């Protein structure tokens, strides 16, 4: 049985990434951000990864392996996002969300790895 705090983090991350995934496809602001970052050609892949990871975390409530795979993938995605933000000199404030989600998904992964 899962503890309540990791479950809350897992649900929060899942919903966040589903929303971010949808915005990657639909939001003009997100489209312009991908251009500004110089990774427009990866917008579709990133959006799909966000949606897949988000839904994978939800499925993980029933199949723990999905939590492990999804949280690891999202942590890796956010590590790359954090590095990208620093590379394009977005500064610490704009980089904090990527770092936060890196920590959250790393926590989810590590908690579930030990069960």
Cα torsion 6, 3, 7, 2: sign: positive
Model-wide pTM > 0.75: yes
DSSP category for residue 108: H
- Residue of 81, 75, 83, 63 lying closest to 102 (CA atoms): 75
Supply 12's token pair. 């929060």
pLDDT of residue 2: 54
- How many domains, in total, are found in the chain? 1
Judge whether 40 and 24 are in contact, CB under 8 Å.
Answer: no
List the chain pLDDT tens, one digit each, 115 residues: 457 888 999 999 999 999 999 999 999 999 999 999 999 999 999 999 999 999 999 999 999 999 999 999 999 999 999 999 999 999 999 999 999 999 999 999 999 998 7
Domain residues for the domain of 99 are: 4-113
Over its C-alpha atoms, the chain yields an Rg (Å, rounded) of: 14
């Amino acid at each position: 049985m899962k503890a309540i705090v990791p479950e809350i983090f897992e649900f929060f991350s899942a919903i966040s990434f589903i929303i971010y995934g949808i915005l990657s496809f639909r939001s003009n602001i997100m489209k312009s951000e991908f251009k500004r970052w110089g990774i427009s050609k990866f917008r579709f892949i990133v959006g799909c990864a966000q949606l897949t990871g988000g839904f994978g975390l939800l499925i993980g409530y029933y199949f723990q392996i999905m939590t492990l795979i999804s949280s690891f993938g999202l942590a890796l995605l956010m590590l790359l996002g954090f590095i990208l933000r620093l590379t394009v000199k977005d500064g610490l404030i704009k980089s904090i969300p990527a770092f936060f989600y890196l920590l959250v998904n790393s926590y989810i992964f590590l908690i579930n790895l030990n069960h």
